[in-house]
A and B are shown apart, each in its own frame.
Chain A
Amino acid sequence: MPRQINYVALVAGVLTLVLIAASVFVPWWQFNVGNPALASVNFSPVNFNLALFNTILTVPIIWALNLACLLTLLAGGISLLVYSVLPTKSYAKSLLGFGYKKPLYAVILFMVELIVLYLSVTLLTGVNLPLIGSASLQLPDILSGGITVKVAVSAFFNWTFYFAIAVVVLCFAARVYHRKAAKPVTSISVSSTN
């Protein structure tokens, strides 16, 4: 009897691991202050840092949360891989349920954090940061001491963000494909009678 494999889950699991590795080095969203940049914010669920004058500032509690997110995604990816080769086992659905939601949680967490960051800066400083594109921001007088200070800023989503969305879609496809993959293979034997 041929071994049943949920190929969609297999690909989703591998791509989840690729997403983790890529997100450590390529932020999902990047915000630059100045041109060339004096400061930049690099933001992904597994790596959030502020680079100021080429020095990366790491907030320990955020570093811990990033690590927690990385390990959770890693566990999700591994569980998807294990599930994909054992889709008919009794515990397969538990593994799938554990794994396929993790990239979605990461994307939701990222979006919530980004919106909170955006609203916090807007409400606290009155400055409208662009989420995408370039702008010249005028600092409020209270920050610039009466001098008109305009700062060139730019923000953009990197390919890793779109890749994360693709992984989420693939993970859900793996969940949908489970019904077909977990269906027991029925073997039909045909015997000829003379």
Chain B
Amino acid sequence: MQLIGIVLLLISVGLVVGPVGAVVYIYKDDLSGLIIPPEVKGLVNGDSSLFINDNSGNDGDDSPFGSFVQPEFVSANIDNAARTFSVTVNLTNSFTIDLTLNSLSTDVDTPDRQRITAVGLSNPYVIAPGESALVTVEGSWTQTGEAYFMEHYSTSEAADVVLVNTVVDVNGVSVELSEPIQITVPMSTSGITVTG
């Protein structure tokens, strides 16, 4: 009876020491490999394949992140009578998972902080890895903003505007930019349909 107790004790010890000892032996030349997964090591060494899809069609683009955050303009519709507009852009998902663009909203102000318009996503979008999707944002502008814009920028080729209260929600990760972002909008009518 004592013998079986000793055997069971040895089994208990062996079942723990065996796997742990084997793994320590395998990684004896690189003990950091015991606690750092190879994928994380690759990431530290600049291998972004964990996050970035190689087949996303970013030929010559060194920054797949950039292609996601810099949408390509496709078209725009402006309804002067209703003071509404919609802008459609092409977004490419360079990541290795589905991206769900739940919401995007921002207020657009003049440089001296008069409200021109508020912009929001028309509806949520799901973009598969490596795929592109046409994303439409909608907005309506204020009469004050219109008057200000016509007064200052009617003959300009570009207009300076400030984005404030910008909130983006992708896959449940909500990013709220507390600082205003100043951007320059080209005043071109190419690709824009005006009604009303």
B residues contacting the other copy or chain, number (CB 8 A): 39
Complex-state Cα separation, A58 to B24, whole angstroms: 15
Contact with B along A56-86 (1 / 0, CB 8 A): 0111110111011001100100010000000
Q: What would be 12 A-B contacts, judged by CB atoms less than 8 Å apart?
A: A34-B171, A38-B97, A53-B50, A53-B51, A59-B34, A60-B34, A61-B23, A64-B22, A64-B24, A147-B175, A148-B178, A150-B176
Which of B15, B20, B40, B171 is A61 in contact with, Cβ under 8 Å? Answer: B20
CB-based contact B50/A68 at 8 Å: no
CB-based contact A151/B174 at 8 Å: yes
Which of B23, B36, B50, B173 is A63 in contact with, Cβ under 8 Å? Answer: B23
Which of A35, A55, A57, A147 is B172 in contact with, Cβ under 8 Å? Answer: A35
Q: Which residues of A contact B175 (CB under 8 A)?
A: 147-149
CB-based contact B19/A52 at 8 Å: no
Cβ < 8 Å to B, chain A residues 1-56: 33-38, 52-55
The verdict on B187 contacting chain A, using a C-beta distance below 8 Å, is: no
Which of B4, B23, B172 is A64 in contact with, Cβ under 8 Å? Answer: B23
With A38-B97, A53-B50 already in contact, the answer to whether A64 and B178 are too (CB < 8 A) is no
Interface of A (DSSP majority class): mixed
Q: Which residues of B contact A52 (CB under 8 A)?
A: 39, 50
The verdict on B45 contacting chain A, using a C-beta distance below 8 Å, is: no
Cβ < 8 Å to A, chain B residues 157-196: 171-179
The verdict on B1 contacting chain A, using a C-beta distance below 8 Å, is: yes
